[in-house]
A and B are shown apart, each in its own frame.
Chain A
Amino acid sequence: MATRLKEVDAVMVGMGWTGAIMAREFTKVGLNVVGLERGQDHIPGNDFMLPNLRDELRYAARLELMQDNSLDTITFRNAPDEFGLPIRRFGAFLPGEGVGGSGNHWGGLHWRFLPTDFRIRSVLTERYGASAIPDDMTIADWPVSYDELEPHYDRFDKLCGVSGKAGNLRGQVIEGGNVFEGPRSDEYPNKPLKSSAGGLLMSDAAKRLGYHPFPIPVSNSSAPYTNPEGVTLGGCQYCGFCNRTACEANAKASSVTTLMPVLRADPRFELRTRAFVSRLVYDKAGRRVTGVVYTDLRNGEEYEQPAGIVVLSAYVFGNTQFLLLAGIGEPYDRATGKGVVGKNYAYQFEAGAVAFFEDRELNSYMGAPGQLVCIDDFNGENFDHGGLGFFGGGYFAGGSGGSAPIYGRATPHGTPRWGSEWKQATVKWYNHFVRFNTQGSVYANRDNYLDLDPTYRDALGRPLIRLTYNATDNDHKMSRYLLEKLEGIIRAMNPTSYEMHPRPKNFSIVPYQSTHNTGGTMMGSDPKSSVVNRYLQTWDAHNLFIQGASVFPQQHGYNPTGTVGALCYWSAQAIINKYLKSPGPLVQA
């Protein structure tokens, strides 16, 4: 029997990016909040220090900051008629664990979606006719617009001290920034990072071809910066270790660097680590949850934590799993197309290229992801899809930097992978290549979804979440088109040689692609077609709010976290201004 604890105003399930934002918004208005996190605490001045952070083996190869697969994982299959097998060690994506979540080791590429992305089904229908959208493409409009989210995007930018250059300030288009972006109410809080030599080569070529290059926006402050919470971030050291590692300079924004210092000092907030939440307590008749049950991994005891408001902030897979286990919302049934929980799982469809430049010293190991240069000319509806046979798109990024030697080496195709000849080629090219990436959208498909696995279980005995996902023809076509355009830019850079890296037909769990998983608890305007309403409140339990990319109806051609953060602030505002005054559904079904 679980020990019943004293009720609190709100409980967060997971203390990564979204858990911390919500906790902070709640404590600010006087609520007592408990943050439950199954991983360890992370104290930057103790856990994220030099020299040990600069350890590619520990962090990039052995994945120290990632979810421990031995306690919990997910199962995977490419198609509904296959048997799902557990991901025994994460590869394609790397969910984080511990206070800060994936935010500790993210790359920090910080984007907003396009205004048209939020109305994608309507826009495609207007432009190409309803019949142009394939039956199995289950994309949906968002129940919130870019304009509504804009102030919240702006708040999140300022919290993180994003470095970048505006391309659209209050409607005025500015060359040198992203001219395709939606209107911003304010300039980025920090100037862009210094672009890498490789990035500038790409920039020149792209300009010559009539495209619109700009420095990538990144949650990595280019100079010391104090955010509106009063927390000071350091300036980026261009170390090259952003991805998979944390930041000793506190330049990379994470909840640990931007919010936890404030929360830790706030008596209204209590952090409990090694608290593995197993389930929600659902009062179906009352249409609310009464709290959560967790196991304290330090003593094996089970506790029930009653709460007035429950926030699911346990990343895409965890969020969806909690609803399926509790029976909240109708599970998606792929055969009938009915039901919503688990529906519209999506991902990022990345492909890439590498180009070699014999005569240039590119120091490929130096530098941050923020030194990339990108173009957005082939994202979303920034280009005409008439006659192309696919929908969607993505941005292209290119640059040199961040190539530590275990994973960051590149040699031209056909070079042996070992032996003396391999060594010579490695020496010849290590400092002389530029990498490119196309960050493609994934438009939801009927066959891509999440449900509970019938066979495998986690350390607490719960069924694992099962991922059924494969790349669709639409996304392959989209990606090939982007690669063709990218190839044009690369040729114009005049490299010694280059090669394009299209994605193989089947999605594989093995090589790293992207931790941009989305969907499973999609937001929408009615309970038939969505799990949460426009304020991220579940239709079936009015005090249960779901945060994170699990609420995305589909994934667009950008990294997700900028939008994830904006949605948190948007949702928090509705909870504080409306829900606390009269608890109940914020949107009538």
Chain B
Amino acid sequence: MADDNIPRRTFLVGAGAAGSAAVTGVTASPVVAAADSAPAPVATAQPDAWLTLNPTEAAFVMAVVDTLIPADELTPSGSACGVATFIDRQLAGAYGSGARLYRDGPFLKGKPEHGYQLALTPRDYFRAGIAATNDWVRKRHGKDFDRLGEAEREAALKEMEQGKAEFPGFSSKEFFEALLTITMEGFFSDPIYGGNRDMASWKMVGYPGLPASYRDDVKTYFNKKYDKPPQSIADFV
């Protein structure tokens, strides 16, 4: 069966017991399966608690970041790098609630040149996008996105990326771009925001992070590989 080798979430609570997700062990894994889901969820590194994502959304975000940033010899998976935590925190905070976004109406449909024109906050936009993606996936596969095998997840995201996935009344391509953007922000930003755990992405590309005072280094490392390990903002407080 195609599902056999999908990474699964740690099974924490029984069907219908979603409310008791707080009972967690050392792995601190409150993600719960959607009530109707048969397969067991899996262990990947996750936050102690989700700030805003509901269980279905958390499972979705984990599955997306693990597909966009798969575990391989270069880094652990996106969720193990904290990217799902990052997204949860961003959506729960000022950014997610639409800080600095002009939100007066009328809200009219624009051209792509006009940029974002919806009344939804980023939090609500992701809520709608996750629901639309899961609806679309369920129609084809009979289950939510996070329950798909790796190859199917990749194929689904590719269809969204190319704008071929038809979500009724919702742009799959735009939602894919939003997912990709926030995932990359989480993967590459300073670990203080919850993503890029252990500076995994910085180690991967050879970005030294802080303090980034290269006054002498621009000479010493002219045409030469820089070899110092990275440091985060947190290493300086």
Contacts and interface: CB of A to CB of B under 8 A. Distances in A.
B103 A419 contact: no
B185 A88 contact: no
Contact of A57 (B103, B185, B217): B185
Contacts of B67: 418-419
A197 interface: yes
B139 interface: no
Interface stretch (B18-26, B35-43, B110-118, B163-171): B110-118
Nearest to B226: A363
A545 interface: no
A513 to B, nearest CB: 12
B7 interface: no
Nearest to B177: A417
Nearest to B157: A418
B215 A89 contact: no
Given A409-B205, A510-B113, A238 B102 contact: no
Contact of A88 (B103, B106, B209, B237): B103
Contacts of B75: 423
Contacts of A235: 215
Contacts of A57: 185, 189-190, 193
A155 interface: no
Interface string B86-114: 00000000010011111110101011111
B190 A55 contact: yes
Contacts of A431: 205-206, 225-226
Interface stretch (A68-76, A172-180, A211-219, A318-326): A68-76
Interface string B197-216: 00001101111111111110
A361 interface: yes
A85 B212 contact: no
Nearest to A82: B111
Contacts of B114: 76, 85, 87, 509
A409 B237 CA distance: 28
Contacts of A365: 207-208, 212
Given A54-B233, A361-B224, A88 B101 contact: yes
A57 B95 CA distance: 11
Interface string A416-449: 0111100110110011000000000000000000
B205 A70 contact: no
Contact of A430 (B183, B206, B213, B221): B206
A237 B113 contact: no
Interface in A148-200: 194, 196-197
A66 B103 CA distance: 17
A310 interface: no
Nearest to A235: B215
A506 B102 contact: no
Contact of A85 (B117, B202, B214): B117
B215 A54 contact: no
Contacts of B3: none
A365 B226 CA distance: 11
A113 interface: no
A109 B112 CA distance: 31
Nearest to B179: A418
Nearest to A63: B100
A455 B112 contact: no
Interface in A358-390: 360-363, 365-367, 371
B96 to A, nearest CB: 11
B218 interface: yes
B50 interface: no
A503 interface: no
Given A87-B115, A418-B68, A430-B206, A239 B110 contact: no
A406 B215 contact: no
B72 interface: yes
A404 interface: yes
A228 interface: no
B219 interface: yes
Contacts of B117: 85, 88
Contacts of B115: 87-89, 91, 508-510
Interface of A: 50-52, 54-57, 61-63, 66, 68-70, 73, 76, 78, 83, 85-89, 91, 194, 196-197, 235-241, 249, 360-363, 365-367, 371, 404-406, 409, 417-420, 423-424, 426-427, 430-431, 455-457, 506-510
* 5 shortest interchain CB distances as A-B pairs: A57-B189, A51-B236, A508-B113, A418-B68, A238-B214
Given A85-B108, A239-B211, A366-B226, 16 more contacts: A50-B210, A54-B233, A62-B100, A68-B100, A87-B102, A88-B117, A194-B218, A237-B214, A239-B213, A405-B188, A417-B180, A418-B180, A420-B70, A423-B72, A507-B113, A509-B114
